[in-house]
Structure 1
């Protein structure tokens, strides 16, 4: 099996499998263009709602072609204390909002786990451009001594991880992985590794991003990556559809609480799912374009399934990267076909960016939450705006209405990809008893 180490191949190391620490999901938190928390976002996804809107209230929007995006439905301010409102960037405010929800959802407090056994992995693709560029404008127009003193720490890539570590009192390490658009998924992969090697019992992990800044939007527009359907924002993002014409950016955060299964069961925690497998690969192909044949995607998915000791036939549903660009969707679909075969044999595919927009470093974490809930509730949300599959692709895209999973369908894959050829796949397995 190409690209998969011997110890991670199905059937290898039965004794090692018995001894390996299992990693489970016990808490979920998010803020998206569809809702300010997990329940509201999940219900909106099941209804196939739209989170993409015109950004015509922004003073710069009228002068730029990409005048739409997935702005968060609920602003973070009311849930923050006064210091957090002043000292945290918008990205970090999203992260803290989602982390607080996830921590509460997991039922954790200072009496249930030692701070020295708690770690944090929170990632972003572009950190916070607003803090950095606003600081530059102040320097340029008013001088160095008027630059806000927190400009540097607010704009650093670790800002969200540091802020979340303070909220949950994490003393076992705070990490920030940067893998472009797969950063949030890589954060979960890193968290799994921390727990498996006993560096922590609990890890708060995921991603946050606030990319609706004219510099970021202008860059994506310049590379012709954004949809031009500004006359109909609700129909702009069309993953895998024959009429897709580009992505739409969005903002938000998704944070998950991961624990060793032993720790979770000892405290009687609710378990949403197990992260049973992790797979990572790199294309080594191009800075922006994915590998056309999807070989990197296929390697990551295969490695994740092998790590979970599962086969492609076990996978009921797959939450796709689904960015709605011609090259991105085609490469990913070819990679899926290489692993699973054609649409008649493959898993049910769902692409959430059609509703939330592409939240860059937060996307993989937000979509991992959807993947977990799909297994937990036995429902796969539809892909919005999908009407007709591109004839070059062969995947089973869920659209129109949610797809119900059978009781025996207990495995799902989350696939992510990012600029530079970063591929990350996670394999989730449902708990023994699914919620009603």
Structure 2
């Protein structure tokens, strides 16, 4: 039974598998040092594709987190989720036992799930016949399996679901988990986003849509949010997980608290399949709703981890949305796009960017937007170009916008007892 009194929700643990580091600490150090994780694709021969670069996860071994049999029956996007979730639980020092298992849930979003499995099995079907397809094809491919397998691997028996809202999926997962804890349906939630879509078919589709950067001869400078010379996004892969916990529960076990989550706003453009509404109208509403939900005023905001995709459409419209909501205060805050270093993780982006926003609050340090050399005149905010910056971060927002018009804004605040 839910508690009618809304509970305070805090972040007590995090995990990350990313193109710039495969632990929380490595990821964070990568961000603040401006490490670039984008290079020529190694997962397949990209020579026939218009875009041949990506932010690939390097040096990851699923056997560090699960046994060989389980790893063979799970897709890469699920491997990432299990790994980051186990990291986050260890970071939170939160043990799942028979006594608390039903009060700990999993909410992990993804955009396309096990697309590599589908591609591989289609090739087997065409070349070797239907009988040679794997009996594990469907359970490996379906998007909810990251959340399902994470529960199996960790023993979490509480609420379990998987938002599939394109590039907003990870942020929707964190927001939905926030609501469950806030309203008493769980004591803690394993939440975030995961994606592994660096595959030939994915690249064929995005390249045909002319959505991706073709700066193939200079991959480290290809993702350049808010820069006049940007030419499209760069695909990335990985997973970010946050442990959201009822404050009273966290205090009762002496947990370390990174930050408090206070706001969740979401809206829909109802405008276009792939393009933001003019002026970022839908994004404007998601930001406003997050502020209202968190009882925040525009002047409370210190930093925004922008969606910042490095595309001609997103960057000026997101900038316009920020200025519409924050007014003159928009010029007094810092904004950055960590996609400049990791690439765009689609459904996983909200996970790793939520982690980045929380770490900014916890460490009073803002990661940079690298490759911002010639600012677009329509993008005139303080995007923390090139180098990280030390500053007090009382409240951070994280924006995520997805195909279909999905807009999500999350609000994180420095924790205080009252």
TM over 0.5: yes
123, 126, 131: which one aligns with 2:112: 126
Q: Does 1:274 align with 2:254?
A: no
Corresponding residue SS for 1:428? strand
Match of 2:411 in 1: 427
Match of 1:76 among 32, 50, 61: 61
Partner of 2:297: 311
Q: Is the 8 A contact 2:124 2:132 kept in 1?
A: yes
* Alpha-carbon distance in structure 2 between the residues aligned to 1:237 and 1:343: 27
- Work out whether residues 185 and 364 of structure 1, in 8 Å CA contact, stay in contact via their aligned partners in 2: yes
Deviates more, 1:340-349 or 1:30-39: 340-349
TM-score by length of 2: 0.96
Aligned to 1:250: 236
1:107 to 80, 85, 93: 93
Mapping for residues 29-178 of structure 1, pairs under 5 Å: 29-55=15-41, 57-79=42-64, 80-111=66-97, 114-178=100-164
Counterpart among 326, 329, 333 of residue 347 in structure 1: 333
Q: What is the alpha-carbon distance in structure 1 between the residues aligned to residue 176 and residue 99 of structure 2? A: 20
1:207 corresponds, among 168, 188, 193, to 193
Matched, 1:377 2:363: yes
- Find the counterpart in structure 1 of residue 395 from structure 2: 411
| Partners of 1:278 and 1:343 in 2: CA distance | 21
Change (3 A) 1:342 1:66: farther
Deviation at 1:118, TM superposition (A): 0.9
List runs of 5+ in structure 1 lacking aligned partners: 1-17
The alignment's C-alpha RMSD in Å is 1.5
For 1:185 and 1:427, how far apart are their aligned partners in 2? 11
How many equivalent pairs are there? 413
Aligned to 1:7: none
Q: Distance in 1 between matches of 2:401 and 2:317?
A: 10
Name 2:177's counterpart in structure 1. Answer: 191
Query: Which shifted more, 185-194 or 70-79?
Result: 70-79
SS, match of residue 225 in structure 1: coil
Instruction: Using the TM superposition, give the Cα deviation of residue 357 of structure 1 relative to its aligned residue in structure 2, in angstroms.
Output: 0.6
Q: Using the alignment, how far apart are the partners of 1:170 and 1:210 within structure 2?
A: 23
Q: Distance in 2 between matches of 1:382 and 1:29?
A: 20
Counterpart Cα distance in 1 of 2:105 and 2:246: 12
Q: Report if the CA contact (8 A) 1:287-1:419 is conserved.
A: yes
Q: 1:233 aligns to what? A: 219
Q: Deviations over 1:147-198 (max 9, x none)?
A: 1000001110111001111122111221000110010000001101111221
8 Å contact 1:76–1:94 — kept in the other structure? Answer: no
> Does structure 2 retain, via aligned residues, the 8 Å contact 1:161–1:176?
yes
SS of 1:195 mapped into structure 2: helix
How far apart, CA to CA, are the structure 2 residues paired with 1:113 and 1:214?
45
Judged with a 3 Å threshold, the aligned counterparts in structure 2 of structure 1 residues 58 and 268 are, in CA distance, closer, same or farther, namely: closer
Q: Secondary structure at the match of 2:11?
A: strand
Secondary structure (helix, strand or coil) at the match of 1:333 reads helix
